Structure 1
C-alpha cells in the first residue's frame, strides 16, 4: 500500500536552558525568554511551553473551522473566537497536559456550531496529534459538548486535511 503522506511544512526551533531559558525559531520570528509559569514561582514577562501550546492549538483549530465552513459553502464571522486553555498537571512521578477549547462562532446556531466543532476536531493537526495522548475538552460558548471516546482516542482518521 502506497503512502499518501505529503510533508507540507517543518518548523524548527531551539531551546536552551529548559523552562528558565530561551527559545528561538530558525526564522527568528519566535525569540522568547522562557520561565516556569509565574503562578509556580516563575518570573513575570516570560512565556512558558503551555502558553505557546495554547496559542498554537487555538490558531490551528480556528483554521480547521475555516476549512470546515468553506467546505460547506459557509463563511465564519470575523469575530469568531477559539480560546484554548492548556493545563500542566502532575500525576504520580510524571507530568501531563490537558486542553480545553472554547469556541464561539458568533453567527451560527448551537447545533450547527457543535457539528462544525466536531468536524474541525477531526481534521485539526493539533487535535489529530494529541488524540489518544491527552484529554481535550470541547466547549461551545462555555458549555461542554459531549465528545465520544473515539473522537479523543486512537489513531487519527485517514484522509484528513491539514488546517
Structure 2
C-alpha cells in the first residue's frame, strides 16, 4: 500500500519540460553537456532525489542507534556509454560527510543507510553505486 505517490509529467524528452502535479517542480529540460543553462536534466533531478532520500535514511539509522550526527550527502549521477548495447546507463557516487562519530562509526552508519534507503533498494543490482564516507 502506497503511503505517498509523487506525480510528474514530462514532455519533449531531454530537451523538453517537466512539471510535478503540485507545481513545485516546473523546469525546462536540457541535454547534459549541451552548453545551455536554460534548464536541468534527469541526472540532476535523480542526484537531488537520491541525495535527499539517502541523507534521510542515514539520519534515521543514526537516530535508531541513538547517535547524534550531522550529515551532508553530495550525489553525483553520471550518464555513461553502455558498451553492451551501444546505449547509455547511469552510475551514482554518494559523497557522505558525517560529523559526531568516528570514521568507523560513520562507515557503519552509511552501510546501514544503504540497506534501508528506498533509492538504494530500487537501484540495487541495476546500477553501480559507490558510497564515499568521511567523518568530520
TM range (shorter): over 0.9
CA shift for structure 1 position 42 = 4.2
Moved over 6 A (4+): none
Matching of residue 88 in structure 1 with residue 79 in structure 2: yes
Q: Distance in 2 between matches of 1:75 and 1:141?
A: 16
**Residue 19 (structure 2) aligns with:** 24
Matching of residue 104 in structure 1 with residue 92 in structure 2: no
**Residue 120 (structure 2) aligns with:** 127
Q: Distance in 1 between matches of 2:12 and 2:66?
A: 47
What do residues 8-46 of structure 1 show as CA deviations (whole Å, max 9, x unaligned)? 111010001000000000111000010002xx2242131
CA shift for structure 1 position 108 = 1.0
| Structure with greater strand percent | 2
Matching of residue 7 in structure 1 with residue 5 in structure 2: no
Q: Distance in 2 between matches of 1:74 and 1:12?
A: 35
Report 1 or 2 for greater relative contact order, CA contacts < 8 Å, sequence distance ≥ 6: 2
**Residue 52 (structure 1) aligns with:** 45
- CA RMSD after TM alignment: 1.3
What TM-score comes out, normalization by structure 1 length? 0.78
What TM-score comes out, normalization by structure 2 length? 0.93
CA shift for structure 1 position 70 = 1.1
Aligned pair count? Answer: 133
CA shift for structure 1 position 75 = 2.2
Gaps of 5+ in 1: 1-5, 143-163
Gaps of 5+ in 2: none
